[in-house]
Amino acid sequence: MESVHETTSARPVWVDGRAIALLMAASLTVMANATISPALPGLERLLADDPNAALLTRLLVPAPSLSVALCAPLAGVMADRFGRRRLLLSGVILFIIAGCAGLVLPSLQAIFASRLVLGVAVALIMTAQTALVGDYFTGNHRSALTGLQISARNFGGLVFISLAGWIAALSPRLPFAIYGLAAVFLPLMWRVIVDPAPRSPEAPDARQAEIADRHPTWVALLLLLVILQAATNMIFFVMPTQMSFYLEAAGYDGAIMTGAFLGILMIAGGCSALLYPRIQRATGYPGIFFLAYAAMALGFFLLLQAASTVSLFAAAAAIGTGYALASPSFVALMLELAPARYRGLGGGVLTASIFMGQFCSPLVSSPLIASFGYAGLFHATALLVAAMSVAAGVAGGANWMRTRSVGRP
């Protein structure tokens, strides 16, 4: 009999109800930070009697990231100990409550506290969701779903942020209502998400866990993966944190061009992530990292030459494509490295690295801009990502040569 954590069907993964529920969960995570961005000026005016209004309104966007970075590893341990279903459903319910709280909370301090709680909810959702992808799916289905997750985040972000911009013109509190959309997803998640049955000691995953326990190299490899993902997100997050200031300094209408730039970034990422399974099967992990970082390097080099709107949008498309190709590989590799009983912990640590990279991005990029200008930042970033691409290419070439030498008689 087929277990709940194996998929042998030849049907596309996206017709599986569990996959749809997990993609819904993935779309929620992008909602956490940026959805209220269009409402910030209005909130500052609405609650201007607070002496710290200017500071607190600007902290509302990154506040969930800090909570996720701190809580995700603990959430991963809880997922392994108490089950993924309980954690995912609890996270979604908490997400709805904390996200919508800004509709009625009377002060910026209270709204800021609710944003920290929202980050806890995101930590629960992301760690449980990542572990469930490994529990439910294997092989090509797992690879396809990791790519679809990035598409769901990109297209979900495009829809949620666009909707927030429209309703923020009516009231700066209304964008908080968008978090209530998660209630629409909850019934399907409640129905189809179940915890996988424990495997027998003879099952492949159980044997894998025993081998990994005796030879714990997976821990060191996972640590390297976490560092690489944090660095990748720190580089990518230069786009939403610094581009509006760069475009304004370059003489563009900052708000309009930033919206268009980030929109192209998300559309390009969402579309390219749909191709991830085919590219990964054709090139392997070193090959896809080579292509991903090469595309990001090209994008940052184009920003150095951005003499026109077309070149700016080409840079956005290249960076969005590269990031969307790299991101699914971190999840897929973690699920291959970590034993089944540690998938929650692996997903929690990996989730924390995403948000830690985002949190550190302006702390690193702002001093570089102050010292060397935007050109210096883009040039240094382009060279760094190009070096990462070359390293991936060398690793892929070495792996190919090793495979050929082993295959020779």
Yes or no: say if 59 and 186 are a contact pair by the CB < 8 Å rule: no
- The domain total for the chain is 2
Regarding whether 381 and 235 lie in a shared domain, the answer is yes
Final residue before a domain boundary, out of 173, 194, 215: 194
Whole-model pTM over 0.85: no
Note whether residue 200 is domain-resident: no
Final residue before a domain boundary, out of 160, 194, 228: 194
Regarding whether 395 and 253 lie in a shared domain, the answer is yes
First to last CA, the chain: 40
Regarding whether 364 and 333 lie in a shared domain, the answer is yes
Domain that holds residue 272: 205-403
- pLDDT score at 403: 60
Regarding whether 224 and 177 lie in a shared domain, the answer is no
- pLDDT score at 255: 61
Task: Report the distance separating Cα 134 and Cα 280, nearest Å.
Answer: 17
Residue 57 vs residues 66, 74, 97, 119: alpha-carbon distances, Å: 15, 28, 20, 16
Final residue before a domain boundary, out of 165, 194, 223: 194
Average pLDDT per block of 10 residues along the chain, 409 residues long: 44 76 86 77 83 80 86 89 91 95 91 94 91 84 82 82 81 90 93 77 48 60 91 90 79 71 87 87 90 96 83 93 92 84 84 86 87 93 96 77 56
As separate numbers, helices (DSSP H) first and strands (DSSP E) second, the chain gives: 15, 0
Dihedral angle of Cα 22, 24, 26, 29, to the nearest 10 degrees:
-140
DSSP string, 333-370: HHHHHS-GGGHHHHHHHHHHHHHHHHHHHHHHHHHHHH
Could you tell me the CATH number of the domain that includes residue 355? 1.20.1250.20
> Which of 4, 116, 41, 8 has its CA nearest to residue 71?
116
- pLDDT score at 10: 55
Regarding whether 396 and 268 lie in a shared domain, the answer is yes
Regarding whether 70 and 179 lie in a shared domain, the answer is yes
Regarding whether 342 and 317 lie in a shared domain, the answer is yes
